[in-house]
């Protein structure tokens, strides 16, 4: 299984580096003590291996405590989807492989030009 696009994040700084390095990244917030997380982890890794153009990362909430606090992650497993440095979705709970693949197709199909135009207008208005 090719897991070159599966990264581990242990802090806010590591998260920032990954987001800066990848235009499309999906972060799985997880914990060792979380049974649904342990069940979902191989599904996440399998989908990651099938989508080499997308970066996937895991962040243990008990290790990356600053990151979990920053994004107010109170339930695990949780997925954060970031495209072009914009959080486009946040989901809680484990899912089956076909469900994750379905969401992945939706996230890939997002029209980022509309999202980026929205934030460009906000930036112009703030200056």
The answer to whether 76 and 21 have CB atoms below 8 angstroms apart is no
Q: Which of 9, 19, 28, 34 is catalytic?
A: 34
Residue labelled with tokens 């996230």? 107
Q: What is the DSSP letter of 4?
A: T
Beta bridge partners of 79: 28, 91
Our answer to whether residue 37 is catalytic in this structure is yes
Sequence-separated (6 or more) residues with CB below 8 Å from residue 115? 83, 84, 86, 88
For residue 56 the two structure tokens come to 């996937």
Q: Which of 25, 27, 37, 95 is catalytic?
A: 37
Residue 121, sorted as left (phi over 0), alpha (psi -120 to 50) or beta, turns out to be alpha
Our answer to whether residue 79 is catalytic in this structure is no
For residue 100 the two structure tokens come to 């994750």
Question: Which residues are part of the catalytic machinery?
Answer: 34, 37
């Amino acid at each position: 299984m090719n897991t070159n696009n599966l990264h581990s994040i242990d802090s806010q700084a590591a998260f920032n580096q990954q987001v800066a390095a990848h235009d499309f990244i999906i972060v799985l917030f997880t914990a060792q003590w979380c049974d649904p997380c342990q069940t979902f982890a191989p599904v996440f890794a399998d989908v990651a291996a099938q989508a080499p153009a997308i970066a996937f990362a895991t962040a243990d909430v008990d290790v990356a405590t600053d990151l979990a606090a920053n994004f107010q992650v109170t339930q695990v497993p949780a997925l954060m989807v970031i495209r072009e440095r914009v959080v486009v979705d946040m989901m809680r709970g484990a899912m089956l492989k076909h469900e994750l693949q379905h969401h992945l197709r939706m996230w890939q199909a997002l029209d980022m030009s509309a999202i980026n135009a929205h934030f460009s207008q906000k930036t112009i208005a703030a200056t």
